[in-house]
């Protein structure tokens, strides 16, 4: 039967439960198909080393428990020695003393086809039988109680496991890989392994019921072993459609079962049958049905019964009193039951739950009762609750939550009669105030949503000097809590709308949860164990006093009323010597923050918009977040342990002092008025001072002197930096990246003289540079290590650009975006012009072999060329003689006057001509071109078709918004270039 079809066939029920025999034909096919794949597996894995046997055994058991024997077979080969039970048996039974012909212990026979593979082993096991007794410490931990397999082949498995042992397997037939039946001799098929009954018993003790049923299908010995009564102590028939006859059959097969679960409409009939036949019942679980009076009278016949659980049931006819009398019952659970009156007399009863039951009268005579749960018994009057609880002098735990009739008088009498009461849940009891109630042994007190609890109630709670857990959620009239409890560990105060003052003195307090108390303004906590304190959204909190020697994490996010005095609390000497993480996000009343702490590691001031002064003297501070502190005027980090600092956008910051011996990255981007900066960071590698328009030369000189390891210096939009500041760059021998974009520089000589190792130079929009400013680059050989040059939006003339591109052949990335003086990109030089180029290598050809020959060095190393938005460029010509053997990326988009593009380039991979609206001629010989963008170009289909025909590796073509290219003719383009995978057109994408 498949897993998907779990419901037994009604035609089979009589056969399954009517006899204990099963023919070979009934089981042979199942056995043959299940063991066919296992035999080859066992043969391969049986030679594993004996020292791995125990681990292999554990893995086999785990695999069987998780996925059944099918998953074990599928994974065993891949997991090696830690997956096969057969390997365990074969390796672990080496010490056996029995002869292989001794049939005292039955052997499992695995049938399959092997090529020259036979083995036989025999052994005995001293492992002993596993302990299968049930620990009934908790209803929820009953073995098998979690099994809720539906109406599957459970009854089939029961019947299968109890069939005759004399059935013989037909080993003369076996299915081959094609599903055909082959006639193979018995000697070729049978592989014998001696699995002792003790070993099987030990293995099967780890399996649950569904896997025991699967094990029963493997062979006859496993079927008998899996049916052992030790594994069927708990009979679970919850939500099963089982007939009375079938139920009687199961009870007769396992008369020594100790636990039974039954539910459903026929529950009463079945449980009465069980009581008469199962004399060893210790646990009985019933639910969802009606139980008549005679059941409770018959309980006396279950002399071994220790636990009775009834859930969601009607007891009796709902009118008369139900009596539960039993001399050995220890645990009683009647949850969500419908009954008028109940009487319980059980001299050994220890726990009883009547939760959510609807009785109006309850008489309890249980002198040893320790736990009583009457939560949500709305109909029980105060007097009945008082009588029931006070009649149990050994009571330790009492749950009377949602019993609205409970009064202080009842609590006082319970306190007098139950001296050992340690756990009390009186939540949602509006009539209690704890006035004059004394519970000295109480360790857990829960009084959620008790309207009578006020600040005066704290006097009664203060007498519970053993109290460990206190929960006061939703006590709407509570205004203050002042407690000095030496054992208090956990306190909750949530949604107390009038709560204003908290004073706790408890040395071992480890957890406190205070939230949504809108008028709370003062907190005073003394504790040596508290490690984490979270007080988010306490909008009225103004005073905080902490004496917490172990406190490490504090979160005061959105405490909008906190003042600058909070800094003293978290500085050295403030009472929190071990504090390492502090969050003050969105505390908008903070204006001047000063922390002096040797322990602080992380500080967050996100959204503290009113802070104007920040002083941090925290040598171990490693992380600080100042996002949104946009009113900051003065900042001092001296000393700090920061490795990086990003001040974000601080448009008002004018004074900065940083002493950070470990800092490697500093971002001052957006500190537009910063004029005084002392930066002492000897390990600093990266400095970004973009938009620091007031940063002067003397400040730059001081910084380079104190930070000699800087490799990347960004001075974009720093117009106050001049030649004197640039001269100080000689202090930075490791400088490789320099950004001077949007500055007013006219002379770059200090850069050329001081930055011999420079690799990246950005000069965007440096409009005051003249045509001769870059002559040292292409005439004097300055900056020999330079690889990337950005001259976008500059004013260099056409000739200067041509000389730069012709002579600086070591450049790999060049950006000329928006250069208005650039008219053509014409590298089609004459032979005479080529010979005049100082670094030209005439012999450099574009053949594949030349490009990859390490002995040849092409004259141009250019890989990436950007000429975006050059309005006056009309022609781009890159012939083979241009020696652009390394060019991969060319971007000419937004060049609206570009008309002609003629490129012959072996390695070009990306070409962007989008928005070149004047483009008319396109010639490409780029065999490795992968992406071509022609969006919004006025070029026609024939020109595109001809251009891409010589691009044999083109994959992506974008012709969207090209008015002269119809989306209906994409087939022509695909035919021109067979490698195309994606064509984007204005009406469709394919």
* Per-residue confidence (pLDDT) for residue 208, from 0 to 100: 83
Strands (DSSP E) contained in 328-465 are: 331-335, 341-345, 351-353, 361-365, 371-373, 397-399, 423-425, 444-446
β pairing state of 181-183 and 173-175 = antiparallel
* Per-residue confidence (pLDDT) for residue 195, from 0 to 100: 65
Q: Do residues 396 and 372 make contact, with C-beta atoms less than 8 angstroms apart?
A: no
Q: Do residues 785 and 761 make contact, with C-beta atoms less than 8 angstroms apart?
A: no
Q: Which of 592, 579, 586, 656 is nearest to 621 (CA)?
A: 579
Q: Do residues 883 and 840 make contact, with C-beta atoms less than 8 angstroms apart?
A: yes
Q: Do residues 428 and 450 make contact, with C-beta atoms less than 8 angstroms apart?
A: yes
Helices (H), 490-632: 566-569
Q: Do residues 964 and 989 make contact, with C-beta atoms less than 8 angstroms apart?
A: no
Q: Which of 602, 665, 600, 671 is nearest to 632 (CA)?
A: 671
Distance CA 916, CA 925 (A): 20
Distance CA 101, CA 122 (A): 8
Please tell me whether residue 876 adopts helix, strand or coil conformation: strand
* Per-residue confidence (pLDDT) for residue 97, from 0 to 100: 32
Distance CA 118, CA 72 (A): 22
Please report the DSSP string for 317-360 in residue order: TSSSEEEEE-SS--EEEEES-B-SEEEEE-TT--EEE-TT---S
Side-chain-side CA neighbours of residue 586 (13 Å): 9
What is the side-by-side strand order in the sheet with 321-325?
321-325, 341-345, 361-365
Structure tokens at 64: 């069987």
* Per-residue confidence (pLDDT) for residue 861, from 0 to 100: 92
Report residue 294: phi and psi, to 5°.
-65, -20
* Per-residue confidence (pLDDT) for residue 48, from 0 to 100: 43
| Helical axes 53-79 vs 197-204, angle rounded to 10° | 70
Q: Which of 197, 211, 22, 193 is nearest to 111 (CA)?
A: 193
- The owner of tokens 């420079």 is 758
Cα distances (Å, whole numbers) of residue 593 to 429, 583, 588, 755 = 46, 13, 12, 41
Average pLDDT per block of 10 residues along the chain, 990 residues long: 38 34 38 37 39 49 49 40 36 35 38 32 35 37 38 46 40 38 41 66 85 86 87 87 88 92 91 91 93 91 94 85 94 94 95 94 95 94 94 96 94 94 96 92 96 93 95 95 95 94 94 93 95 92 95 95 94 95 95 96 95 96 93 95 90 94 93 90 95 91 95 94 92 96 92 93 93 88 93 91 88 95 77 38 35 48 95 92 90 95 94 95 95 94 93 94 86 89 73
Distance CA 949, CA 972 (A): 11
Q: Do residues 769 and 747 make contact, with C-beta atoms less than 8 angstroms apart?
A: no
Q: How many C-beta neighbours within 10 Å does residue 471 have?
A: 19
């Amino acid at each position: 039967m498949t897993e998907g079809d779990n419901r037994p066939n009604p035609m089979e029920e009589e056969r399954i439960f009517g006899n204990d025999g099963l023919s070979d034909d009934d089981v042979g096919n199942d056995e043959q198909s299940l063991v066919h794949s296992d035999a080859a597996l066992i043969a391969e894995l049986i030679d594993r080393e004996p020292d791995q046997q125990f681990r292999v055994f554990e893995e086999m058991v785990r695999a069987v428990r998780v996925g059944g024997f099918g998953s074990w077979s599928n994974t065993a080969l891949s997991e090696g020695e830690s997956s096969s039970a057969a390997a365990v048996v074969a390796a672990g039974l080496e010490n056996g003393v029995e002869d292989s012909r001794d049939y005292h212990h039955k052997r499992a026979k695995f049938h399959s086809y092997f090529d020259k593979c036979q083995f036989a082993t025999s052994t005995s096991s001293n492992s002993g039988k596993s302990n299968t007794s049930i620990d009934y410490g908790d209803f929820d931990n009953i073995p098998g109680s979690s099994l809720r397999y539906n109406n599957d082949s459970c009854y089939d498995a029961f019947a299968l496991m109890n069939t005759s042992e004399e059935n013989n397997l037909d080993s003369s037939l076996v299915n081959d890989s094609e599903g055909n039946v082959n006639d193979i001799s018995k000697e070729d098929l049978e592989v014998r392994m001696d699995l002792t009954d003790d070993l099987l018993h030990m293995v099967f003790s780890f399996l649950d019921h569904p896997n025991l049923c699967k094990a029963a299908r493997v062979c006859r010995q496993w079927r008998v072993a899996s049916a052992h009564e030790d594994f069927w102590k708990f009979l679970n028939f919850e939500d099963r459609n089982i007939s009375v006859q079938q139920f009687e059959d199961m009870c007769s097969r396992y008369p020594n079962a100790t636990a039974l679960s039954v539910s459903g409409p026929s529950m009463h009939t079945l449980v009465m049958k069980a009581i008469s036949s199962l004399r060893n019942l210790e646990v009985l679980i019933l639910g969802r049905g009606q139980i008549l009076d005679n059941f409770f009278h018959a309980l006396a016949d279950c002399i071994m019964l220790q636990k009775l659980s009834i859930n969601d049931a009607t007891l009796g006819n709902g009118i008369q009193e139900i009596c539960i009398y039993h001399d050995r019952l220890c645990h009683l659970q009647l949850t969500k039951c419908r009954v008028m009156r109940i009487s319980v007399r059980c001299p050994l009863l220890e726990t009883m739950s009547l939760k959510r039951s609807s009785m109006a009268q309850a008489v309890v005579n249980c002198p040893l009762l320790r736990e009583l749960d009457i939560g949500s018994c709305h109909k029980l009057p105060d007097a009945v609750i008082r009588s029931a609880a006070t009649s149990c002098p050994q009571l330790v735990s009492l749950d009377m939550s949602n019993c609205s009739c409970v009064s202080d008088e009842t609590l006082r009498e319970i306190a007098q009669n139950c001296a050992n009461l340690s756990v009390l849940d009186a939540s949602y009891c509006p009539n209690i105030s704890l006035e004059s109630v004394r519970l000295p042994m109480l360790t857990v007190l829960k009084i959620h949503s008790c309207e009578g609890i006020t600040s005066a109630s704290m006097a009664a709670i203060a007498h519970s000097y053993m109290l460990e857990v206190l929960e006061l959620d939703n006590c709407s009239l509570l205004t203050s809590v002042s407690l000095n409890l030496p054992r208090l560990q956990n306190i909750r105060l949530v949604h107390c709308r009038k709560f204003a003052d908290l004073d706790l003195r408890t040395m071992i307090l480890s957890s406190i949860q205070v939230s949504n108390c809108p008028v709370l303004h003062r907190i005073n906590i003394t504790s040596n164990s508290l490690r984490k304190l979270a007080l988010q959204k306490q909008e009225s909190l103004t005073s905080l006093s902490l004496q917490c020697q172990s406190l490490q994490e504090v979160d005061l996010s959105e405490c909008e009323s906190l003042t600058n005095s909070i800094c003293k609390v978290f500085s050295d000497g403030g009472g929190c010597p071990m504090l390492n993480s502090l969050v003050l996000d969105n505390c908008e009343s903070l204006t001047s923050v000063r922390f002096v702490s040797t322990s602080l590691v992380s500080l967050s001031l996100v959204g503290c918009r009113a802070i104007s002064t920040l002083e941090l003297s925290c040598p171990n501070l490693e992380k600080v977040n100042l996002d949104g502190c946009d009113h900051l005027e003065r900042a001092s980090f001296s000393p700090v342990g920061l490795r990086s600092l990003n001040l974000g956008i601080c448009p008002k910051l004018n004074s900065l002092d940083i002493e950070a011996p470990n800092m490697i990255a500093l971002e001052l981007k957006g500190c537009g008025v910063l004029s005084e900066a002392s930066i002492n960071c000897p390990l600093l590698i990266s400095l970004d001072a973009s938009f620091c328009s007031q940063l002067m030369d003397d400040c730059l000189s001081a910084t380079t002197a104190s930070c000699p390891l800087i490799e990347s210096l960004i001075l974009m939009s720093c117009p106050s930096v001049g030649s004197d500041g640039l001269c100080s760059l000689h202090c930075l021998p490791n400088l490789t990246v320099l950004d001077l974009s949007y500055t007013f520089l006219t002379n770059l000589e200090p850069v050329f003289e001081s930055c011999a190792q420079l690799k990246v130079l950005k000069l965007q929009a440096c409009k005051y540079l003249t045509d001769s400013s870059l002559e040292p680059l292409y005439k004097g050989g300055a900056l020999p290590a330079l690889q990337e040059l950005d001259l976008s939006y500059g004013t260099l003339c056409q000739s200067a650009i041509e000389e730069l591109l012709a002579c600086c052949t070591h450049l790999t990335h060049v950006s000329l975006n928006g250069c208005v003086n650039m008219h053509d990109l014409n590298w089609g030089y004459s032979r005479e012009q080529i010979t005049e180029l100082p670094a030209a290598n005439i012999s450099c050809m574009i053949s594949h072999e030349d490009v990859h020959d390490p002995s040849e060095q092409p004259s141009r190393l250019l890989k990436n060329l950007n000429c975006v938005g050059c309005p006056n460029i009309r022609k781009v010509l890159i012939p083979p003689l241009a020696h652009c053997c390394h060019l991969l990326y060319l971007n000419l988009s937004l060049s609206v006057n570009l008309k002609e593009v003629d490129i012959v380039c072996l390695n070009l991979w990306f070409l962007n001509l989008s928005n070149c609206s004047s483009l008319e001629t396109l010639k490409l010989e780029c065999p490795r071109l992968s992406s071509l963008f022609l969006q919004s170009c006025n070029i026609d289909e024939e020109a595109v078709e001809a251009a891409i025909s010589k691009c044999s590796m083109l994959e992506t073509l974008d012709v969207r918004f090209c008015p002269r290219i119809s989306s209906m003719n994409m087939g022509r383009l695909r035919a021109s270039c067979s490698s195309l995978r994606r064509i984007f057109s204005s009406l469709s994408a394919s």
